[in-house]
Amino acid sequence: MNKAGDVLKELEYLKNSEKIKVFKKFFKTNEGEYGYGDMFWGISVPQVREISKRYFHDISFDEIKVLINHRIHEVRLTGYLILTYQYEKSENEKRKDIFDFYLNNLSGCNNWDLVDLSCYKIVGEYVLRNKEERKILYKLSKSKNLWEQRISIVSTYPMIKRKEFEDTLNISKLLLFHKHDLIHKAVGWMLREVGKQDMNVLRKFLNENINTIPRTTLRYSIEKMNKSERKGYLLK
């Protein structure tokens, strides 16, 4: 486990006690909040990325597992970012292995930044090119785990960029009745991305679901519309 140990030493060296306080508040770690109990070293994302990029070339899945199961948030983020860099630089067969490993090791992916910085770059990119695997998105959307549900919608991002909207719209509809605002925001974010590609597709979805769409989702989704159109949707 030498590589994992080296990563841990570098990360621990960057501990910032002042930022720890900020991160604990920002990521909602109080009792009853979604990040309850999470622990931090106060390390910025650019610092985590710099370390991840230096180690991803020759670190094994076993060593990555040490990182993504670690109690410290930034250590887990490092592990998941390493996987995204490995995926980007790998050939198809290895990409399948990374896709499977990621999905089998989601327990440490337990906050919105961990999800958003990793899932679409692995799950999203893989199912974009392997349509038969898209069923996993629907399985995740029906999970009882908040973060797996967020993965299901954010992972559709690469498809949106290719103007493939069907799965985004289907999963958005499945999640419209979700109770958590982190899902409302994620769905709204992806719908906004749909609108960037084709505003008429977004309008059609909103018009068909206007009576059930959460207000947060609606507000996020219409951000790129002009002021009068935004106002029109908010008054419906």
Residue 15 lies in a domain: yes
Distance CA 28, CA 6 (A): 29
Residue 117 lies in a domain: no
Please state the pTM of the whole predicted model.
0.96
Residue 130 lies in a domain: no
Kindly report the average pLDDT of the chain as a whole number: 97
**The domain that contains 234 carries what CATH number?**
1.25.10.90
Mean predicted confidence (pLDDT) in 73-90: 98
Q: What is the pLDDT of residues 184-226, one digit of tens each?
A: 999 999 999 999 999 999 999 999 999 999 999 999 999 999 9
Q: Compute, in degrees rounded to 10, the torsion defined by CA atoms 170, 174, 178, 180.
A: -30
pLDDT at residue number 1: 59
Q: Does residue 49 sit in the same domain as residue 145?
A: no
Residue 35 lies in a domain: yes
DSSP symbol at 208: H
Task: Name the domain count of the chain.
Answer: 2
| 20 closest CA partner among 32, 8, 10, 12 | 12
pLDDT at residue number 236: 85
Q: Does residue 4 sit in the same domain as residue 84?
A: yes
pLDDT at residue number 92: 85
Mean predicted confidence (pLDDT) in 137-152: 99
Q: What is the pLDDT of residues 178-195, one digit of tens each?
A: 999 999 999 999 999 999
Give the 3-state secondary structure of residue 71: coil
